[in-house]
Amino acid sequence: MIAQKSWFWERKTLQELSQQEWESLCDGCGKCCLHKLEDEDADEVYYTCVACRYLDTENGGCRQYKQRLELVPECINLKPEDVENFHWLPSTCAYRLVAEGQPLPDWHPLISGRADSVHRAGISVKGRVYREQDVDVEDLEDYIVHWVE
């Protein structure tokens, strides 16, 4: 009998992950870097196709990752202890998937072994967003998208 490979995110809780393991779960899709609107009455979060100025829309990831929280005060610092609040993350997000006990999809870089697999699968925001500096923030409702699940 061949032993099935067990991934670190399947063996550990999110709280048990090292910082490197935690960071590696991010697939670089960029969806969390989109501006969002919240309807508190309906408890709904609406994603827009307007990206943070620091999002690298070609390769994914933040161009100012280490300074992002100082540069963008409203930037959300995802932490394992906040797992109960992950409902607003896209359904494809590895942090949310792992928190819900779901497997990572084949296109996730940790599974595929390719950093660009998230783009090849059409999951990322690459080629689908506007830069925030090109949009009037008063008009964000006009940029709500439904391709973020």
Residue 44 belongs to some domain of the structure = yes
The pLDDT tens digits of the residues spanning 78-98 come to 999 888 888 889 999 999 999
Q: Which residue has the higher pLDDT, 98 or 1?
A: 98
Residue 123 belongs to some domain of the structure = yes
Determine contact, residues 48/140, Cβ cutoff 8 Å. yes
Token representation of residue 7: 């991934």
Token representation of residue 85: 């609040």
Residue 110 belongs to some domain of the structure = yes
Residue 3 belongs to some domain of the structure = no
The pLDDT tens digits of the residues spanning 6-52 come to 899 999 988 999 999 999 999 999 999 999 998 888 888 999 999 99
Count of domains for the chain:
1
What is the domain extent for residue 96?
A: 8-143
Residue 73 belongs to some domain of the structure = yes
Q: Which long-range contacts (CB under 8 A, 24 or more apart) does 120-124 make?
A: 123/27, 123/29, 123/92, 124/27, 124/28, 124/29, 124/30, 124/31, 124/60
Residue 108 belongs to some domain of the structure = yes
Residue 19 belongs to some domain of the structure = yes
Residue 97 belongs to some domain of the structure = yes
